[in-house]
Amino acid sequence: MNLIAEAFAWLFSPERLQGPYSLQILLAQQLFYTVVSVVIAAVVAIPLGWWIGHTGRGREAAVALSGAARAIPAFGLLILLVLVFGVLHKPEAAFVTFVVLAIPSLLAGAYSGFEAIDRRVVDAARAMGMTEWQILFKVEVPLGLPLLIGGLRSATLQVVSTVTIAAYVNLGGLGWPIIQGIPLQRFDQVLGGALLVAALALVLDALLALAQHAAVPRGVRVTPADIVSTTR
């Protein structure tokens, strides 16, 4: 209990809001690396996932690629890319690491959202004379959006927690108190940094959970009234 109290004392110390390593700066760096990495990964993975889900082609390759990417240790990849890119390009190495980490969840969310759609709905849209582009953007994308946001939610949580290792190569972020505190045996600082990362992850998860719920089309939402009516 003393360590927890010391961690909160460290967090709320006025010194935490001063200097180049103040908490607000570290938080901004953490969010910057997370948002940029997830956006880049989304630009790559979502169109590919939609194409796989719409055409039914390449699913096996996508599953294999996603599994291989998930198996790559993020810390080892970051160090390898820093050595390959050079110390002057550490931000680029970090972004590549985090993008690789985010792609599998986004890719899976994009194509699984389409696969979960009842094929009779797509066939009906095609029978009504809709073009393939109309089917894609007016039927499949809206119905598959909740699972896509679920993939976005998973990718964001993975990236925001892994961005802490950016501090190991002196790129800042909320991992800095953890990386600095371990050799100094400042365990109150280490725990305080870990609590900040956990709190940020919980906030982002809650926001994306709300977005995922809101993305469910109104016509397919299950309400308590619907459940009561079906049980009568």
Q: List the chain pLDDT tens, one digit each, 232 residues.
A: 688 888 888 888 888 888 888 999 999 999 999 999 999 999 999 999 999 988 888 888 888 887 787 788 888 899 999 999 987 889 999 999 999 999 999 999 999 998 888 889 888 998 998 988 898 888 999 999 999 999 999 999 999 999 999 998 888 899 999 999 988 888 999 999 999 999 999 999 999 999 999 988 876 665 544 544 444 5
DSSP string, 90-143: HHHHHHHHHHHHHHHHHHHHHHHHHHTS-HHHHHHHHHTT--HHHHIIIIIHHH
Q: CA 80 to CA 96: how far, in whole Å?
A: 11
**What are the Cα distances from residue 106, in Å, to 14, 23, 41, 193?**
39, 30, 8, 28
pLDDT of residue 174: 92
List phi, psi (to 5°) of 77: -65, -40
Domains and CATH numbers, the chain: 30-171+193-231 (1.10.3720.10)
The CA distances from residue 105 to 17, 63, 94, 197, in Å, are 35, 11, 18, 20
Q: Residue 227 has what pLDDT?
A: 43
Residue 56 is predicted with a pLDDT of 83
- Residue-level pLDDT at 19: 83
Tokens (6 digits) for 205: 């998860």
- Return d(Cα 220, Cα 150) in angstroms, integer: 17
* 3 state DSSP class of 219: helix
**Using the 8-state DSSP alphabet, how is residue 139 labeled?**
I
